[in-house]
Amino acid sequence: MEMLEYDIRKYAERHPDKDAIVSGQEKVSYKELWRMIEERSNELQSSTEHINVIKTSPSIGFLVEYLASHLANKVAVPLAHDIADEEYTNIKQSLENADIPDTCADILYTTGTTGKVKGTMISHDAILANAENLMDAQHFSSDVAFVISGPLNHIGSLSKVWPTMMVGGTLILTEGMKNIDAFFAALDYASSHIATFLVPASIRMLLLFGRDRLSSYAHKIEFIETGAAAISQTDMEDLCAILPNTRMYNTYASTETGIVCTHDFNSDYCIAGCLGKPMKHSSVYISDEGYIITSGRTMMLGYIGDDELTRSIIKEHRCHTQDYGFLDEEGRLHLKGRHSDIINVGGYKVNPLDVENVAMSHPDVRDCICIADQHPVLGTALRLLVVTNNHIPLNKKSVALYLKDRLEGYMVPQMYSQVESINRTYNGKLDRKSYSKF
């Protein structure tokens, strides 16, 4: 990719000794990084393979392999480091004779609401447009030291590699939030311009188990981006309270749409579900049915090997999502949930996000999920599964009354259960499918 070559080589010449990537005790300068990328790119160019399937890891080696793939004009296919051998083999074999457009740069595998694994083709132009959207809207600068704590085979974290490299910043790779001490160690990096991307589940973990420690970094955390799942009003407000001078971005993005909207909720508008205005390379529309539709340079090329599924989503150069939303009078996008998540209770349509958002503000609730369950009298009814703070016994009446004071009557769950944990997906989303037969 010409832009990649230009930027990294430029910084290798202008700032050769500046840290480009830090991973634990290892680090590599821009000069060293460019040398490693060139060497690996030359090796890849000698191969007849058009694709490069890579198991990801938060390491310098992975990023060299990934970036060298682009420089060598290969299609990079980053997969989870712990992917099953059979699945890895199946994906690799399926790609051998696949029809891949010349403009394709990455193929990212995702699991949608159907549970079907889909290979999403991303163009070179979309990668650059995503990077430029983030650089412009979130004000990336050459001083930024961006902490990556999520999987690099998904757009949430992978998309931060490009803007950081394009401005000449530093990437700090961690093992994720499994080791909270390692995350805080990354924040100790010698920079007063720390930034990171955290899914809402990770933010909640930090607020519960590292609140004071996070607060101690208030002077050096420049911005935090969240996305991939809905963040609660309570967590938004708590985060703003302990990091009052930090920009807090809530972003609307997906592998299919690219990075579309973002909103700094630590400004004058801190409302759950508000995702801000479209970025420079994106546009947003709302269908007559209330679905979010996007367009622009950041969109995917399509699903590999599935033209029918591609046509069901990409229509007239627009990406039709299954997300409900609306645009307010300021042109800001608000997310109202996914079509498949809506629960029909006695003819009323309940968005479980509305219930969960209020429940999360109850002082005893640490985590929760609202699901459909069978009631012996009412038929389909709402059940709230709750993880309590410090695992104290759940006071069902207290929670029910709390919700009754804040929600319409039909939205108040009829049943309550205390659980040890809530099932979530790899990127922190509530795993609603796992509760479909509760």
pLDDT value at residue 116: 67
**H/E run at residue 167:** helix 161-167
Rounded Cα gap, residues 151 and 157, in angstroms: 6
pLDDT value at residue 114: 43
pLDDT value at residue 275: 96
Return the percentage of the chain with pLDDT > 70, whole number: 96
pLDDT in tens, 165-186: 999 999 999 988 878 999 999 9
pLDDT value at residue 113: 40
> Of 158, 162, 177, 171, whose CA–CA distance to 79 is shortest?
158
DSSP string, 139-165: T--TT-EEEE-S-TTSHHHHTTHHHHH
pLDDT value at residue 63: 97
pLDDT value at residue 5: 61
Report the b/e string of 185-201 with b at 16+ CB within 10 A: ebbeeebebbbbbbbbb
350 in Cβ contact with 410 (< 8 Å): yes
281 in Cβ contact with 297 (< 8 Å): yes
Rounded Cα gap, residues 55 and 83, in angstroms: 8
pLDDT in tens, the chain (438 residues): 555 566 888 899 999 999 999 999 999 999 999 999 999 999 999 988 899 999 999 999 999 999 999 999 999 999 988 888 888 998 998 898 889 999 999 999 986 444 567 899 999 999 999 999 999 999 999 999 999 998 999 999 999 999 999 999 999 999 888 789 999 999 999 999 999 999 888 898 899 889 999 999 999 999 999 987 788 899 999 999 999 999 999 999 999 999 999 999 998 789 989 999 999 999 999 999 999 999 999 999 999 999 999 999 999 999 999 899 999 999 999 998 777 788 888 778 888 888 998 999 999 999 999 998 988 777 788 999 999 998 899 999 999 999 999 998 889 999 999 999 999 876 677 888 888 764
Q: What is the DSSP pairing of strand 333-338 with strand 274-278?
A: antiparallel
Q: Residue 147: beta bridge partners? A: 172, 196
Q: Which long-range contacts (CB under 8 A, 24 or more apart) does 210-215 make?
A: 210/180, 210/184, 211/238, 211/242, 213/184, 214/184, 214/242, 214/243, 215/242, 215/243
> Of 208, 205, 188, 187, whose CA–CA distance to 196 is shortest?
187
pLDDT in tens, 43-99: 999 988 899 999 999 999 999 999 999 999 999 999 988 888 888 998 998 898 889
Q: How deeply is 296 buried, as exposed, middle or buried, from its count of CB atoms within 10 A (0-12, 13-18, 19+)?
A: buried
Q: Which long-range contacts (CB under 8 A, 24 or more apart) does 104-107 make?
A: 104/75, 104/301, 105/1, 105/70, 105/75, 105/76, 106/75, 106/76, 106/77, 106/78, 106/158, 107/51, 107/75, 107/76, 107/77, 107/304
